[in-house]
């Protein structure tokens, strides 16, 4: 009998380690032979700890399981969830990037290969660099870190740059509110990211890679370090990647703990041991990046999606999606929501379907008021925008952005003036200080919103004007996009700003 208990840190936070220990103790006391596997999470966080048992006829799910449930679990009398793949939240997904996450043992390279792992890298190893980049371009993959920049174009710039050394830098700083896709794949399927980085290295001629991994993810750091060691010991990394005659190796670096260190040039400074301050562009990191050398900076999900593109072909990937948003997107649903978790789907599903149908609305049972999509710099979307299809251009057209595809749900008790204030305060706290519209503007923004809350209507045009200055004058998107949450709150929920005024009168 095989028993799976996730070792993902969300599952652990909900008691997975205690459940695993209780299973081992109970099985030992019964003289029952079991194989306990610590898998990644399937991403249905409301069911964690989600224990799966394979008695020879597929994996049956149980969850959330407590240590007290373990005797009944082993007796076979605990009420189960049925086949995990048939749980509607899971069955409705298209899992390409996350196909193995929650299924395999994250640090078992054989298990990885038995589930399609390394097929992509093997194929890429037989291609010329230009052909590798062409395949990524044809897949239509765009950066999943926030900006949605075409990955193939970025890789081609680095490939064509003349230099004695090039780098692949993986952005694993994952600072957006309500996001956890990067962590989930690094903890649940780390070889997938390593494979994607190795393909990127072969594609652009980079022999060295770094993962800049946020220090708040100690489990992911530990798993990734171990996975790199195993990959190196098995010839996946090193001087002769899978016998290709080409070299690629990589290291894990711990982040410095600032939101702005997720911005790619600030990240590069931090990686070089400098203060995490944004660099002016040009030069682009693709031409002068880490230590001044041509560098691919890509998000975890962008890189972890590359193996499946090579395994199944660019066309297979590009066949999913909507408009210019090709392939799948791992949407992360969090906040005040009934069924929070990771939902990978082809681009195009309307926002409302994700929030009200897939995620089942709010956990509080109160009506949804707004959702913030795209992290702390993303717009608040009201119910009227719920028919917006999940796609880069479609969200842009609706005054929002997808960012790293995190959705945070709020019920009707949320005070949108306070949310706008929080956005300005966040920007003031996290600003790197390099440019005035952000460094000073965000502080003035907090003060201006406080004036509105205190009943000064004249402060509303001032706030609008300030937001325009921040949008137009900021050097990076921290200052430049903070107006998204602020102005969307003001535009879609004017009553909250008026009520504040009335309450003050
Ligand atoms: C303030 C700020 C924070 C950012 N944080 C992240 C982050 O945590 N992770 C990430 O991948 N990209 C982040 N980005 C975007 C990166 O600058 C960059 O666009 C991305 O790493 C490129 O990779 P991609 O093309 O694969 O998306 C941030 C950008 C800004 C302006
Ligand atoms: S917008 Fe803010 S975070 Fe970005 S460079 Fe200017 S001061 Fe730094």
426 has pLDDT over 60: yes
* C-alpha 477 to ligand 1 mean position (Å): 10
Binning pLDDT at 50, 70 and 90, where does residue 457 land?
confident
CA distances in angstroms from 360 to 133, 166, 386, listed in the order given: 40, 46, 14
109 has pLDDT over 70: yes
Mean pLDDT across 88-102:
98
Q: Which residue has the tokens 């956890």?
A: 180
Position 491 scores a pLDDT of 97
Which ligand has an atom closest to residue 469 CA?
Answer: 2
Tell me how far apart the alpha carbons of residues 311 and 306 are, in angstroms, rounded to a whole number: 9
Mean pLDDT across 201-224:
98
What percentage of the chain carries pLDDT values higher than 70? Answer: 99
Which ligand has an atom closest to residue 278 CA?
Answer: 2
Tens-place pLDDT, residues 299-353: 999 999 999 999 999 999 999 999 999 999 999 999 999 999 999 999 999 999 9
499 has pLDDT over 80: no
Counting atoms of ligand 2 from 1, which one is nearest the CA of 430?
Answer: 3
* C-alpha 173 to ligand 1 mean position (Å): 8
Position 500 scores a pLDDT of 59
Whether 53 and 95 have beta carbons less than 8 Å apart is answered as no
Angle between helices 483-492 and 459-473 (to 10 degrees): 150
Position 293 scores a pLDDT of 98
Q: Which of 197, 200, 257, 263 to mutate to test the pocket of ligand 1 (most atoms within 8 A of CB)?
A: 263
Tens-place pLDDT, residues 48-76: 999 999 998 899 999 999 999 999 999 99
Position 504 scores a pLDDT of 57
28 has pLDDT over 60: yes
271 touches ligand 2 (CB under 6 Å): no
Mean pLDDT across 439-456:
96
501 has pLDDT over 60: no
404 forms beta bridges with none
174 has pLDDT over 70: yes
Q: Which of 181, 264, 332, 477 to mutate to test the pocket of ligand 1 (most atoms within 8 A of CB)?
A: 264
249 forms beta bridges with 208
* C-alpha 286 to ligand 1 mean position (Å): 14
Q: Which residue has the tokens 């965000």?
A: 442
* C-alpha 262 to ligand 1 mean position (Å): 5
Q: Which residues contact 438 (CB under 8 A, 6 or more apart)?
A: 427, 431, 470, 474, 475, 476, 478, 479, 480, 482
Mean pLDDT across 89-114:
98
* C-alpha 296 to ligand 1 mean position (Å): 12
Instruction: Name the closest-CA residue to atom 20, ligand 1.
Output: 145
* C-alpha 269 to ligand 1 mean position (Å): 14
Position 256 scores a pLDDT of 84
Residues with CB under 6 A from ligand 1: 143-147, 149, 171, 173-175, 259-260, 262-264, 297-299, 302, 476-478
CA distances in angstroms from 427 to 156, 481, 485, listed in the order given: 34, 10, 11
Counting atoms of ligand 2 from 1, which one is nearest the CA of 436?
Answer: 7
Instruction: Name the closest-CA residue to atom 1, ligand 2.
Output: 479
Counting atoms of ligand 1 from 1, which one is nearest the CA of 476?
Answer: 31
Diameter of the chain measured on Cα atoms: 76
Tens-place pLDDT, residues 118-136: 999 999 999 999 999 999 9
Buried b (16+ CB within 10 A) or exposed e, 350-389: bbbbbbbebbbbbbeeeebbbbbbbbbbbbbbbbebbebb
CA distances in angstroms from 45 to 13, 14, 52, 90, 258, listed in the order given: 11, 9, 14, 12, 26
Which ligand has an atom closest to residue 437 CA?
Answer: 2
Counting atoms of ligand 2 from 1, which one is nearest the CA of 433?
Answer: 7
Query: Within a 13 Å sphere around the CA of 150, how many CA atoms are in the beta-carbon half?
Result: 15
């Amino acid at each position: 009998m095989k028993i799976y208990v996730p070792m993902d840190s969300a599952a652990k936070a909900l008691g997975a380690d205690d459940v695993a220990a209780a299973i081992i103790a109970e099985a030992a006391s019964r003289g029952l032979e079991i194989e306990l596997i610590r898998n990644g999470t399937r991403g249905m966080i409301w069911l964690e700890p989600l224990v799966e048992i394979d008695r020879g006829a597929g994996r049956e799910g149980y969850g959330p399981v407590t240590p007290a449930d373990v005797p009944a679990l082993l007796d076979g009398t605990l009420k189960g969830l049925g086949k995990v793949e048939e749980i509607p939240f899971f069955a409705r997904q298209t899992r390409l990037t996350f196909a193995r996450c929650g299924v395999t043992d994250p640090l078992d390279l054989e298990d990885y290969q038995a589930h399609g792992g390394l097929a992509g890298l093997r194929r890429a190893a037989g291609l010329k660099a230009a052909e590798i980049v062409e395949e990524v371009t044809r897949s239509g993959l765009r950066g999943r870190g926030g900006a949605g920049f075409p990955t193939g174009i970025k890789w081609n710039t680095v490939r064509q740059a003349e230099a004695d050394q090039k780098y692949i830098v993986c952005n694993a700083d994952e600072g957006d509110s309500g996001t956890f896709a990067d962590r989930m794949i690094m903890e649940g399927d780390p070889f997938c990211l390593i494979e994607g980085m190795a393909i990127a290295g072969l594609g652009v001629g980079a022999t060295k890679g770094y993962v800049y991994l946020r220090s708040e993810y100690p489990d992911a750091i530990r798993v990734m370090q171990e996975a790199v060691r195993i990959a190196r010991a098995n010839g996946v990394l090193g001087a002769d990647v899978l016998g290709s005659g080409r070299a690629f190796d990589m290291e894990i670096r711990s982040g410095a703990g600032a939101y702005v260190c997720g911005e790619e040039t600030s990240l590069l400074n931090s990686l070089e041991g400098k203060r995490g301050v944004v660099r002016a562009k040009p030069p682009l990191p693709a031409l002068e990046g880490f230590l001044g050398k041509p560098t691919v900076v890509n998000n975890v999900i962008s890189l972890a999606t590359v193996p499946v593109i090579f395994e199944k072909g660019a066309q297979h990937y590009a066949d999913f999606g909507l408009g210019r948003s090709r392939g799948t997107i791992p949407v992360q649903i969090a906040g005040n929501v009934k069924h929070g978790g990771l939902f990978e789907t082809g681009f195009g599903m309307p926002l409302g379907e994700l929030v009200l149908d897939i995620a089942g609305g709010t956990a509080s049972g109160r009506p949804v008021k707004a959702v913030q999509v795209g992290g702390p710099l993303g717009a608040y979307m009201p119910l009227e925008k719920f028919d917006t299809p999940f796609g880069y251009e479609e969200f842009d057209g609706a005054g929002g952005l997808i960012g790293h595809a995190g959705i945070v749900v709020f019920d009707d008790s949320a005070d949108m003036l306070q949310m706008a204030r929080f956005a300005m305060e966040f920007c003031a706290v996290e600003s790197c200080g390099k440019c005035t519209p952000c460094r000073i503007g965000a502080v003035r923004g907090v003060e201006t919103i406080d004036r509105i809350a205190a009943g000064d209507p004249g402060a509303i045009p001032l706030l609008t004007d300030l937001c325009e200055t921040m949008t137009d004058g900021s050097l990076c998107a921290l200052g430049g996009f903070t107006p998204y949450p602020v102005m969307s709150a003001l535009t879609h929920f004017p009553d909250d700003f008026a009520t504040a005024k009335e309450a003050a009168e």
